[in-house]
Amino acid sequence: MTPLILIPARMAATRLPGKPLADIGGVPMIVRASRQARASGLAVAVAAGDPEIVEAVKADGGQAVLTDPDLPSGSDRIRAALDAIDPAGRHDVVVNLQGDMPFADPGLSGACVDLLARHPDCDIATLVAPESSAADRANPDVVKAVLAMAPEGTEGRALYFTRSTLYGDGPVWRHIGLYGYRRAALEAFCAAPPSPLERREKLEQLRALEMGLQIHAAVIADAPLSVDNPDDLAAARAQAAISG
C-alpha cells in the first residue's frame, strides 16, 4: 500500500468561523494537525478551501493544495486534492484526517491503514473509542457506531452509525471521524448522491453502508480532542499550555 493522509480544512466553519487558523499555544490549529500527521511518517497534504490555509501550512514546511471553497463536504475536498496531487494514481489508500484534531496521535492514521491491509474485504477503515460517560448514550452530538465485533474485541465491522440513544447492556462506541479509504471506494463514494439514511441522520458514512461498502473500525483507548466550538477551543488551548 502507498497511503496518503489528506486533511480537509476551510475557513467557513459554521460553529467556529476561521477555525483552521485559530491560535492554539501560538500555533494555528491546522498547522498542529499537519505536524501530528507528518509525525506518522506517511505522506501528508492539507486539502484547503482557502488560500490563507495554504499559506499557513506551507510556511511551516507542510504541503497544501487549494481546492474549490464551495465543495459540499470534506470527502469531496480530499477527492479534489487527491486528483490534483496524484493524477497518476500512485496512492492507493487515502486517509481523511480531520483538521480540527490538533493533538491526534500520529499512529491513528496507521491504525486505519493496518485495518485495510489485514481485511481485503474492507473498503473503508475508521476508529472508535469507548464512551467517555453515560451521558454519551443520549447525546446527539456523539455519533455511535454499531459494530459486529471480532472475538478479541479490538475491532469490528460497522453495521450502522447513529446519533440516537442506544439502549441495553454492552459498550457504546464513540465514532471518531477519521477514515482510511481504498482509492476506488473514495471515488465511488464521492460519485454517489447523498443517501436516505445519510440525510436522515446527517452522517456521511451511512451513504457508504447503503452503497454496500464495508466499513471496519479499530478500537482505540480514547477519542482525541476535536475542536467544534469555543469551549473545545478553550480546552485545546489549555492542553497546549500543559503539553506544548
Chain center to CA of 6: 9
Q: What integer is the mean pLDDT of 59-80?
A: 95
pLDDT at 168 over 90: no
Give the CA distances from residue 132 to residues 139, 144, 176, 205, 223, in Å, rounded to whole numbers and listed in that order: 11, 12, 13, 22, 9
Give per-residue pLDDT as tens, 108-151: 999 999 999 999 999 999 999 999 888 888 899 899 999 999 99
Rounded Cα distance between 32 and 185, Å, is 28
Amino acid 176: pLDDT: 96
| The pLDDT of residue 17 | 87
**How many Å apart are CA 217 and CA 30, to the nearest integer?**
25
Least confident of 201-205, 223-227, 240-244: 240-244
Residue 189 predicted with pLDDT over 90 = yes
Per-residue pLDDT reduced to its tens digit, 70-84 = 998 999 999 999 999
pLDDT category at 171 given cuts 50, 70, 90 is: confident
Mean pLDDT of the chain: 95
Q: How confident is the model at residue 15 (pLDDT cuts 50, 70, 90)?
A: confident
pLDDT of residue 144: 96
pTM for the structure as a whole: 0.95
Neighbours of 27 (CB within 10 A): 16
Among 93, 84, 118, CA closest to 2: 93
**DSSP 8-state assignment for residue 164:** S
**CA–CA distance, 189 with 205 (Å, rounded to integer):** 9
